[in-house]
Structure 1
Amino acid sequence: MFLRNDFMTLRALEPEDLEIMYRWENDSSLWMYGSTMEPYSRYTIKQYIANSDKIIYEKKHLRLMIELKDKSVVGCIDLFDFDAHNSRAGVGVLIDSAFQHQGYATAALELLCRYAFDFLNLHQLYAHIPTINSYSLKLFEKNGFTQCGLMRDWIRNGDRYLDVAIYQKTRL
């Protein structure tokens, strides 16, 4: 199975994920890592979950919840900007603060890469990572991504601008 290992599963969204997604999406300290610019209502997130059953080729995005064997949800992992013609997609990972630094992001990214390359038949994956996020830089490097570019002053964070590294992994 592409989306499972001995201790975790990457699974589709369920209605029960509403509250944890509401908390993550409305945590403004996380907004600089994605494209969120304003809070999301529970209604909006409920609609997002309800429409998440559309195939990736139609919606160009796939969010999977990272669930442990004991059914604890520790985070989520996304494929976004899915481009079937060019066989590529962006990758984003979020691990709940209560579960960080326990190897869950590494395992989830490994599973997602295997799924993207071996099942979806993608040629490449990429990530945009603020250079101040040393944990994410190490995570992607550990999973075989290499830095292929740098966008200077790319993200505004308060009164300063942050550089963003572009990481890429190409299927061998």
Structure 2
Amino acid sequence: MPAPCSIRLRALEPDDLDFLYALENDRDIWGVSDTLAPLSRQVLREYLAHATTDIYVVRQLRQVVTTEISGAAVGVVDLFEYDPLHQRAGVGITIRASERRHGYARQALELLKEYAREVLRLHQIYATVGVSNGPSMRLFRAAGFRRVGTRRQWLRTGSGWEDAAEWQCLLTEETGV
């Protein structure tokens, strides 16, 4: 039986500006988020002003991971490259460094899978993870994703090229649909 959920997913709000500014400008995660330069508060204000646009229009959705008790923002989870024809989307997740190792990422993926299956009616979600990112590799395996392949020299890093593992979760398999 899974542990009780101690987090919630919610929509972005204008008050998330400082949280997003800190998260997006954390150089330690730039390598996994394809970020090359810091983002200004103005750019993030504009992003927040349009972030609630329908997933069917912008083909992406970002939700904030918050603790259930305090409501504090501890991370974000993204659906991107949403494809309504093939009923799939990519998944990205970031938890603040100070909040890692509390099970928030695993719980967030479970909630996201439920939302993707029940609300968006997606057939599958997928993730691309650098093979040296052991914590993310373990996270996706534990969350029921299957490793379905490897893209050779897919990610450019500061020390050269790195292979990327492709992870896939068939949402309809979980319910037998």
- Name the TM-score class by shorter chain: over 0.9
Give SS of 1:33's match: helix
Shift of 1:6: 4.4
Given the alignment of the two structures, is residue 16 of structure 1 paired with residue 2 of structure 2, yes or no?
Answer: no
Consecutive unaligned residues of structure 1, counting only runs of 5 or more, are: none
Given the alignment of the two structures, is residue 64 of structure 1 paired with residue 63 of structure 2, yes or no?
Answer: yes
Consecutive unaligned residues of structure 2, counting only runs of 5 or more, are: none
Give SS of 1:125's match: strand
Shift of 1:167: 0.2
Give SS of 2:39's match: coil
Amino acid at match of 1:93: I
Alpha-carbon RMSD: 1.2
1:68-147, aligned counterparts within 5 Å?
68-69=67-68, 70-147=70-147
Q: Please list the CA deviations of residues 23-57 of structure 1 after superposition, one character each: whole Å capped at 9, or x if unmatched.
A: 11122221121222222111011111110111100
Rounded to whole Å, the distance in 1 between the matches of 2:85 and 2:109 is: 23
Q: Normalized against structure 1, the TM-score is what?
A: 0.94
Q: Normalized against structure 2, the TM-score is what?
A: 0.91
Runs of 4 or more, structure 1, over 4 Å off, are none
- Residues paired across the two proteins, number: 168
Distance change >3 Å, CA 27–CA 80, structure 1 → 2: same
Q: Please list the CA deviations of residues 61-112 of structure 1 after superposition, one character each: whole Å capped at 9, or x if unmatched.
A: 1000001121111101000000111100000010000110110000000000
Identity of aligned residues (%): 39
Q: Quick check: 2:5–2:107 contact (8 Å CA) kept in 1?
A: no
Q: Quick check: 2:80–2:90 contact (8 Å CA) kept in 1?
A: yes
